[in-house]
Amino acid sequence: MNFLVTGGAGFIGSHVCERLLLLGHSVWTLDDLNPFYAVALKERNLAALEALGRPFRFVRGDLADPSCLEPLFADVRFDQVIHLAARAGVRPSFSEPALYHRVNVEGTVNLLESARRHRVKKLILASSSSVYGINAKVPFAESDPVFAPISPYAASKLACEALGHVYHHAYGMDIAMLRFFTVYGPRQRPDLAIHKFARLIDAGQPIPVFGDGGTARDYTYITDTLEGILACTRQEFGFEIFNLGESQTVKLNDLIALLEKALGRKAVLQRLPPQTGDVPLTHADIGKARRRLGYNPKVGIEEGIALFAEWFRSSPPS
């Protein structure tokens, strides 16, 4: 099949492209290579994909500019689109809320419109656990009300979910919305906690700890997230939302201890006040994904951190 993967130069996107190529599919990726983090890391991911010697093409373009999409859709008959491109990060979204809206919301509209015009029926769109906000019910289920996001990033992802439903309802498009829960592993973005903390611990520099370290996250290893995405490519849903998490929570203090053990170095902690937009807890109810997708996460946090540390030790400096 012909797949378009947006954001394919990034962390999750490069893993998705790699797996699709190894499965024998043809893959195009659209990415703007923005400097949110080092472009060299994204170029390294693209070089690894090209080195596979499979049918892969990289197209540089900004989803917020619809003119980059029309020639691509006109030239290739895509069977499916996996939309992972976005401006990411809760805290940075407070500094540039208009940018997050433009890229995440307008970019998604442009992609959906191109898919509609060129009769691409099936799309898989990345959402985020951040749409749950400060959810009183734990674990978080797809049926929970999500009307109170607490960051511009979360609001943009919630808008994308609504747009996905509109295009399913109005045009019959088959759309799966995937709420990712703190994905980590090889190639993880350097601004995310696990990668950032590992780098600082390894360098003997202080790591910023916002609050008392009691916040907890549902950390999900990249191979488990990848299996959930690929399961969606093999089915039709109409319109469905799925949590892709590990369904286990880890407190920040415990995460730091696991990194210390894996890296063999003690962390220097810099205690700071809690940050606006941070939620105290994320915890995925994955019952629906288990039933509908056969989703079954296998990599627990201790094994995952050890695997991440192995990759971190062997990878070039970021």
Catalytic residues: 153
- Measured CA to CA, the distance from residue 155 to residue 202 in angstroms comes to 35
Q: Say if CB 184 and CB 222 are below 8 A apart.
A: yes
User: What is the radius of gyration, based on Cα positions, of the chain?
Assistant: 19
* Single-letter code of the amino acid located at 77: R
Which of 76, 58, 81, 54 lies closest to 10, judged by CA? 58
Picking from 300, 305, 284, the residue whose alpha carbon sits closest to that of residue 198 is 305
The identity of residue 179, as a single letter, is R
Instruction: Say if strands 56-60 and 26-31 run parallel, antiparallel, or are unpaired.
Output: parallel
Q: Is the peptide bond before 190 cis (omega within 30 degrees of 0)?
A: no
User: What are the two backbone dihedrals, phi and then psi, of residue 316, each rounded to the nearest 5 degrees?
Assistant: -60, 160
What Å distances lie between residue 88 and 80, 120, 237, CA to CA?
A: 23, 26, 26
Beta bridge partners of 60: 31
Cβ atoms 19, 222 nearer than 8 A: no
